[in-house]
Structure 1
Amino acid sequence: MTDTNPDHTNKKSKMDFFNFLLEVFGWIRIVASPFLIGALIGLGVYVSKPDTTRLILAIIIASIGLLTGIIWATKVWRKGSTMDYTAMTSHDFDKYDKEE
């Protein structure tokens, strides 16, 4: 007997789209960290003596942070799940939840 419920396939595709959105959110979180660090360092470089040369140097530093974040987040996404990587839990404690 075949499954005639059309919602069965829609739920799976909606769940896949939802998981994709969560992965994108995790990817953005990973990219943001090195980019913000680079942007803050660049801001410090520029604010110390504001001129055109320091502005270009600050933009280069922030760009290096952004590129580092993109490379890092893409490696994490290809290796596994970005949400698992950014989760604030440790898998070492999972065994304590189970009765031995």
Structure 2
Amino acid sequence: MKKGLESITEIIGWLQIVISPTIIGTGLGFIFYSNFENMTGLILGIIISLIGFIIGIVLANKKYKTTGTVNFLSRISATPEIEAESEIKNKK
């Protein structure tokens, strides 16, 4: 049971890591298409979006294989300033 729950959280973490560069690539692709509203702009906008998606997959796979996606995401969202402040209060 534990292995199944770990797999589910790793998959969710993997998806979260993939989504960030994908959204950035899609935004840049849309901005590019907005400036060049023709077939070339559309194709280049789609290519930029796909590059963001591919970068997201590569980054997520790299983190999955090394430290794990959940560990990576938890370190990003950690607040060391608050933790350090609470440790100082606990020492007094």
- State the alpha-carbon separation in 2 of the partners of residues 54 and 37 from structure 1: 17
Q: Which residue of 1 aligns with 2:19?
A: 32
Question: Which runs of 5 or more residues in structure 1 are unaligned?
Answer: 1-13
Picking from 54, 58, 61, the partner of 1:71 is 58
The SS at the match of 2:51 is helix
CA offset digits 1:9-62 (Å, max 9, x no partner): xxxxx2211110100000011111111000000000111231111000001000
Question: Which runs of 5 or more residues in structure 2 are unaligned?
Answer: none
Q: Which residue of 2 aligns with 1:89?
A: 78
- State the alpha-carbon separation in 1 of the partners of residues 62 and 38 from structure 2: 36
Specify the code of the residue in structure 1 equivalent to 2:35: S
- State the alpha-carbon separation in 2 of the partners of residues 16 and 58 from structure 1: 40
Cα deviation for residue 91 of structure 1 reads: 7.2
Larger-Rg structure: 1
Matched, 1:48 2:35: yes
Higher helix share: 2
The SS at the match of 1:50 is coil
* Identity of matched residues, %: 29
**Could you say what the CA RMSD is over the residues aligned between the two structures, in angstroms?**
2.2
CA offset digits 1:55-77 (Å, max 9, x no partner): 00001000100000100000000
